Chain A
Amino acid sequence: MKIFKKFLFLFLFLISSTTYTLAKNPSVFISEITESASTILKKDISMDEKANELIRIAEQNVDIDGIGLYSLGKHRKSIDTNQLEQYKSIFREYFLKSFSSRLSQYSDPKINVISQNVINDKYTIVSSVLVKTDERPEIKIDWRVYTKDPSNPLIRDLIIEGLSLARTQKEEFNSVIQSANGDVNALLENLQNFNSK
């Protein structure tokens, strides 16, 4: 019986410590990602190679499906299942392409994480700054981190100097759909055109 109790205690201890170690601090999470991105951008490799490595980081750490759904805005409710599946696939390609294109222009971005603000169980905003250089001033970057699964935090938005990229994208997509009298296919077509450029 004593052996059983010891075993149970050890089992519970292991479970609790495993849970503890699996929960990732959002600030550390962002620091690690920016560090990895910076290392890639500093590498003496081609732009395409840089883009591929950045895409790998994004696929692991960004909630692309979540951003895609958010970007659909009110049209999320009217889209049918087939269209949604098609959209998710096209959006993923679009996101990764534009993401790597935007980021690969920076040669040596140094980002310092400053603080974090836990909004609720699901979201933490991590504040950071892109250190100033001769070419540009210091830029504030906030990261909306989705923490529903604390062991697997994911980035959902980048807020640069207070301007949300996800919101901008949502309003852009809405504009495309509205211009086509609410037809989501117009957005799919535009995204496909972008992907094939």
Chain B
Amino acid sequence: MSIFNNYYTKYRFTFIEDTIKFTYMGRIFKVLIISLFLTSASLAGSDGENELSKNSNGEVKDCFETINRGVFVFNEGLRKVVFEPLAKGYLYLPAPLRAGTGNMLNNLTNVVTIPNNVLQGEFKLAAKNTARFTVNTTIGILGIFDPASKIGLNDYDKEDYGQTLGTWGVGEGCYIVLPVLGPSTARDAFASLASFSGGDAWYNVTVRNDTHYVSDFDYYFSRGARGVDFLAKNLGALDNLEENSIDFYASVKSLYLQERRQQIANADEITETFDDSDWEEIETQ
């Protein structure tokens, strides 16, 4: 119930909110403005075809590699000093509590997924996800439980505005690393503007509109919790990757771009999203 009665909490966190608004959000906004320019530039050079539909092996340009690497180092420091201890602490919580938190955060993403299903012309999927969201928010008590999966409303794939632009044929633009938020592309960062401009119902009821039930803090807390939840699930994997990489930055970049292409193509196999002709040239038998 505390989520509905945090009137006082809201004022207690005024300082944090203001800091976030004027520094953190300010930075993001600047990056997004730059991204807008970059995306336009990348579109200007496009032949109008969907880059992904060409099944190309095309590399995404790292236009600001020096800056990106600097931000990456900063983010890595933040991960190790702030987020990793939080994730390790989070892992001490009982498994059902972690599962419930994960479910609740996952359920919240539906408010961005559903409009994007519609924008991508996936109306059946939009209806299914709406039903899923309704069942889990009500019967599943604000998404803590996932009864929808038990009645066949499973196989949920998150969608966002970056993926929608991708399905519409907009290329990635330059690769960028955002402070705190991590890897992105010009297209995806630009698309995030849609979420801050009314395209994310959770953002609307927390940050954009002054409601008595939820506040800005709830939005940023949920974003932070999502990051901690993700990190807790991938703690060993990330450290392992870093330990076994000769260029960790390049590995993370590659994995991020591969994942985004897959998400956009809604593909399960790499062979569907990448040109594998390179393999054909190599003969060792």
A: which residues have CB within 8 A of B? 63, 65-66, 69-70, 73, 98, 101-102, 105, 119, 122-123, 125, 134, 136-137, 140, 142, 144, 146, 148-149, 152, 154, 156-157, 159, 162-164, 167-168, 170-176, 179, 187, 190-191, 193-194
Contacts and interface: CB of A to CB of B under 8 A. Distances in A.
A105 B241 CA distance: 12
B285 interface: yes
Q: Which of B59, B240, B271 has the most CB of A within 10 A?
A: B271
A194 B208 CA distance: 50
B267 interface: yes
7 contacts: A65-B284, A101-B243, A101-B244, A125-B269, A172-B251, A174-B250, A193-B246
Interface size bracket, B side: 20 to 34
A168 B243 contact: no
Contact of A152 (B247, B251, B285): B285
Contacts of A176: 246-247, 250
A162 B268 contact: yes
A98 B244 contact: yes
B258 A167 contact: yes
B285 A146 contact: yes
Contacts of A193: 246
B5 to A, nearest CB: 34
B105 to A, nearest CB: 15
Nearest to A120: B280
A175 B245 CA distance: 12
Nearest to B249: A175
B274 interface: yes
Contacts of B280: 122
A101 B274 CA distance: 28
Nearest to A174: B250
Name the prevailing secondary structure of the B interface residues: helix
A69 B285 CA distance: 13
Contacts of A156: 279
B254 A162 contact: no
Nearest to B60: A171
B47 interface: no
B236 A105 contact: yes
B95 A162 contact: no
Interface of B: 59, 95, 233, 236, 240, 243-247, 249-251, 253-255, 258-259, 262, 267-271, 273-274, 278-280, 282-285
Contacts of A63: 284
B254 A168 contact: yes
Contacts of A144: 279
Contacts of A159: 269-270
A164 B250 contact: no
B255 A168 contact: yes
A88 to B, nearest CB: 11
Contacts of B279: 70, 123, 144, 156-157
A167 B270 contact: yes
Contact of B269 (A65, A102, A162, A190): A162
B106 to A, nearest CB: 12
A172 B280 CA distance: 21
Top 9 nearest A-B pairs (CB, nearest first) are A175-B250, A171-B254, A98-B244, A172-B250, A168-B254, A190-B246, A148-B285, A66-B284, A149-B285
Given A123-B279, A136-B233, A149-B285, A164 B246 contact: no
Contact of A171 (B250, B259, B268, B283): B250
B274 to A, nearest CB: 7
Contacts of A154: 284-285
Given A105-B236, A171-B250, A125 B244 contact: no
Given A175-B247, A176-B250, A187-B246, 9 more contacts: A69-B282, A70-B278, A70-B279, A105-B240, A148-B283, A154-B284, A162-B273, A163-B255, A168-B258
